[in-house]
């Protein structure tokens, strides 16, 4: 089967059927949010938001595009102009792959919150993903993964790490004065 990029199948989804994911570490400062609003006001939505469709709940969960979603919620003029609908590109992937997609999208654009990023590393670890998987799918090197694991402070994150034997001081005989 030939792969077809999701962007070729953009759909119009009522904002009430869209919800944010629980793991996005991306943050946008107020001046940039205002700029995003200005951009959408002047140019319209030029990029769809990326979502996963949860059939059981009949909702679209945001993978990428949370701040474009927020603009519609926060600015009535945008909501009215767009008829309360957002352009959505749907991906069908399990949660670990969606988390990786979110991070790849974020990292390609800019910075993200370190504490939230460390939580994602923890969640991926809890889902059984190895450091090698995290490195390959999130574009991180070993040191970055280690630093993010250290932030959470959970020993479970280091269960796969092989540690060498610690040095032991030589036994010295104490001389009596």
The ranges assigned to domains in the chain are 8-93, 113-159
Give the DSSP H or E segment for 61. strand 59-64
Q: Is 8 in a helix, a strand, or coil? A: helix
Q: Which fold has domain 8-93?
A: 3.90.1530
Q: What is the pTM of this model?
A: 0.63
Q: Is 94 in a helix, a strand, or coil? A: coil
pLDDT for position 18: 98
pLDDT for position 164: 61
54 bridge partner residues:
59
- pLDDT tens for the chain, 177 residues long, are 788 898 899 999 999 999 998 877 677 778 788 889 999 999 999 999 999 999 999 999 998 899 999 999 999 999 999 999 999 999 998 888 888 877 776 665 555 567 777 887 888 888 888 888 888 777 778 888 888 888 776 555 455 555 566 655 555 554 555
């Amino acid at each position: 089967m030939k792969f077809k990029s999701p962007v070729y199948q953009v759909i119009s989804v009522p904002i009430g059927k869209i919800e944010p994911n629980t793991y996005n570490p991306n943050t946008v400062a107020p001046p940039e949010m205002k700029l995003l609003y200005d951009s959408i006001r002047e140019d319209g939505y030029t990029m769809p938001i990326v979502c996963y469709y949860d059939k059981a709940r009949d909702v679209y969960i945001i993978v990428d595009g949370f701040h474009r979603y927020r603009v519609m919620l926060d600015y009535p003029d945008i909501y009215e102009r767009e008829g309360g609908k957002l352009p959505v590109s749907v991906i069908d992937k399990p949660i670990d792959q969606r988390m990786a997609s979110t991070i790849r999208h974020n990292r390609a654009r800019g910075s993200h919150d370190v504490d939230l990023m460390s939580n994602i590393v923890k969640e991926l670890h809890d889902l059984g993903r190895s450091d090698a998987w995290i490195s390959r799918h999130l574009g991180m090197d070993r040191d970055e993964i280690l630093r993010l694991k250290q932030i959470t402070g959970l020993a479970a994150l280091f269960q796969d790490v092989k540690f060498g034997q610690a040095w032991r001081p030589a036994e010295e005989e104490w001389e009596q004065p």
